[in-house]
Homo-oligomer: A and B are copies of this chain.
Amino acid sequence: MAGKKLGIAVIGLGGAVGTTMVAGIELLKKNKISKTGLPLADVKADLIDYEEIVFSGWDLFGADLAQAAKTHGVLSYEQLAEVEDFLKILKPLPAIADSNFLEIEGDNIIKANSHTEKIAQIRSDLRSFKKNCDSVVVINLASTEKLIDENKEIFKSLEKFERAIEENSEEISPAMLYAYASIAEKIPYANFTPSVAVEIPALIEFAEKNSVPIAGKDGKTGQTFIKTVLAPALRARNLKVVGWYSTNILGNRDGFVLSNENSLASKIKTKSSVLNDILGYEVEDHIVDIRYYRPRGDNKEAWDSVDFLGFLEQQMQIKINFLCKDSILAAPLAIEIARCLELAQRSGEKGIQEQLSVFFKSPMSKGNPEHAFHRQEQMLMAWLEKHQANTNFGQIKLMFD
Residues of A within 8 A of B (CB): 20, 23-24, 27, 33-42, 74-79, 225-226, 229-230, 232-233, 236-240, 242-243, 245, 247, 249, 284-285, 287, 289, 291, 293-296, 301, 303, 305, 307, 309-325, 328-329, 331-332, 358, 373-374, 377
In the assembled complex, the CB of A287 is this many whole angstroms from the nearest CB of chain B, namely 6
Residues of B with C-beta under 8 A to A243: 293-296
Inter-chain contact A41/B307, CB cutoff 8 Å: no
- Bound-state CA distance A236–B329 (Å) is 13
Copies in the complex: 4
Task: State the Cβ distance, A26 to closest chain B Cβ, in Å.
Answer: 11
New A-B pairs, 6, CB < 8 Å, besides A34-B313, A233-B374, A249-B305:
A27-B312, A36-B309, A39-B238, A232-B374, A245-B291, A316-B324
Within the complex, which residue of B36, B293, B321 is in contact with A239, where a contact is CB–CB below 8 Å? B36
Quick check: A245 and B293 within 8 Å, CB to CB?
Answer: yes
Q: Assess the B314–A328 pair: CB atoms within 8 A.
A: yes
A310/B36 in contact, CB under 8 A: yes
The chain B residue sitting closest to A304, CB to CB, is B320
Cβ of A295 to closest chain B Cβ, rounded Å: 3
A321 near B319 with CB under 8 A, answer yes
The closest CB in chain B to the CB of A37 belongs to B311
Instruction: Select which of B20, B42, B74, B373 is within 8 A of A238 by beta carbon.
Output: B42
Supposing A230-B229, A312-B20 touch, asked if A240 and B36 sit within 8 A by C-beta, the answer is yes
Check if B321 sits within 8 Å of A318, measured CB to CB: yes
Q: How far is the CA of A27 from the CA of B284 in the complex (A)?
A: 26
Chain B contacts of A24 at CB under 8 A?
Answer: 311-312
Tell me the bound Cα distance from A287 to B289 in angstroms: 12
Q: Let me know if A307 and B318 touch, CB within 8 A.
A: no
